[in-house]
Chains A and B, each alone.
Chain A
Amino acid sequence: MNVKGPEILFEIPVLGGIPITETIFNGWLVVAAISIVCFFLGRNLSVRNPSKRQIVAEKLVLTLSGLVENTMGKNNMFFLPYIGALFSYSILSSLSGLLGLRAPTGDINTTVGFALIAFFLIQFFNIKNKGVLGWLKGFTEPVAFLTPLNIISEIANPISMAFRHFGNIASGIVITGLIYGALAGLSKVVLGWIPVIGSIPFLQAGLPAILSIYFDVFTSFLQAYIISMLTMVYVGSANEANQ
């Protein structure tokens, strides 16, 4: 079997053709889904006697804002919407694999996109807080000959973030595909001699569902948490309150 990238659904014929891939299209679906959920959660809020829906909304916002405050500090609370967007976009993208969609986070470009935002935010706040010279000088610390290593580690951060997330989700896609292929083959060998029933790959039911609890559900939560946490830690330490 072939391990393919995202399918190109269509091309917008401007600027030499913009390819709209499954990743982009599913990303729009995820944005739409999150928007609808936010619309229902953030509607008709009351100060007294909150509804169950409002309690859920409050719990979500308070949990997330507590996490942002603890990790990034009070001065970085304006990142709350971005962290919320990143976490929900990441997790719903990964979970969309359960619906048979190709997960946007299973595309290296999505996760590199996440990581580059963090990378540029880190550099922006370092320059803003230390000045350009202070930022450049920061690479020569603690001793000058470590400068190449400092630069490599600075670049390695977003790369490792991007590949960790991509690798986990994409490997889930690959492994699920392999298991389906293998089970189809096994089905053919075991049941293939029966006239009509033999053409239905019965063995594909069951095992993939159990495996997808790990490869899709657990990994989705974990990777969304990790990328949000790393973004918060790196950006937060680049923009500390006492600087």
Chain B
Amino acid sequence: MEKFQEFVAIAPWTMIFTWVNLIILVLIMKKLLFKPVLNMLAARDKEVNEMYSKAETAQSSAEALEKEYSEKLSLAKEEAAKIMKDAKHDATLRGEEIVGEAKKEASAILEKAQKEIEREKEAAINEIKGDIANIAVDIAQKVIEKDLHEKDHERLVEEFIDGWGEDK
């Protein structure tokens, strides 16, 4: 024979079993669902935060490196510019020196040449003077045909020619 409870009636055991069921369910859900999921979410949060902080560290170190390199680069450029400038300056100085030396040398050569010319000229004049004296003596001998002492003749003619050459 099937027995039924009243449709609306207080049955203490049903209530007690409901509480027991709920307590068991709380423990089971906590153990099997809420705790694992919440722990996993916390672990995920932690991992994400760690990744963020790692990324931030990496970024800041990268920025520091970039700054360092750009500083080094600008220093290197400056140095290169300085070296170029120095080299140009040196080259200009050296060039001027070379030109100066060349000019000096050229002028020395010129001077030397002029002196040589002067000396040659003098020698040539002296030679011509000698030749003229001899010719004059020869001519005079031939014209005068007088037996004069040759030395006296030469002296007379030289005196004459000296006076003449200087006038000239």
Contacts and interface: CB of A to CB of B under 8 A. Distances in A.
Interface of A: 3-8, 18-19, 21, 23-24, 27-28, 30-31, 34-35, 38-39, 41-43, 45-48, 54, 57-58, 60-62, 65, 80-82, 84-86, 88-89, 104, 107-110, 112-114, 116-117, 170
Summarize A's interface: helix, strand, loop or mixed. helix
A88 B11 contact: no
Given A5-B6, A30-B21, A41-B37, 10 more contacts: A34-B25, A34-B29, A38-B29, A42-B33, A47-B43, A57-B33, A88-B29, A89-B25, A112-B10, A116-B15
B21 A31 contact: yes
Contacts, number: 135
A61 B28 CA distance: 14
Contacts of B8: 5, 108
21 contacts: A5-B6, A7-B3, A7-B5, A28-B21, A35-B32, A38-B28, A41-B37, A48-B44, A60-B33, A61-B38, A81-B26, A84-B26, A85-B26, A85-B29, A86-B22, A89-B21, A89-B25, A110-B14, A110-B15, A113-B15, A113-B19
A160 to B, nearest CB: 15
Interface residues on B, range: 35 or more
Contacts of A89: 21-22, 25
A5 B5 contact: yes
Interface of B: 2-15, 17-19, 21-22, 24-30, 32-38, 40-41, 43-44, 47
Nearest to A116: B15
A34 B19 CA distance: 16
B16 to A, nearest CB: 8
Contact of A19 (B5, B24, B43): B5
A23 B36 contact: no
Contacts of A8: 3-5
Given A88-B25, A89-B21, A113-B19, A6 B4 contact: yes
Given A31-B28, A42-B36, A6 B18 contact: no
A34 B14 contact: no
Nearest to B22: A85
A24 B33 CA distance: 24
B94 to A, nearest CB: 70
A104 B4 CA distance: 14
Contacts of A31: 21, 24-25, 28
A3 B8 CA distance: 10
A113 B30 CA distance: 21
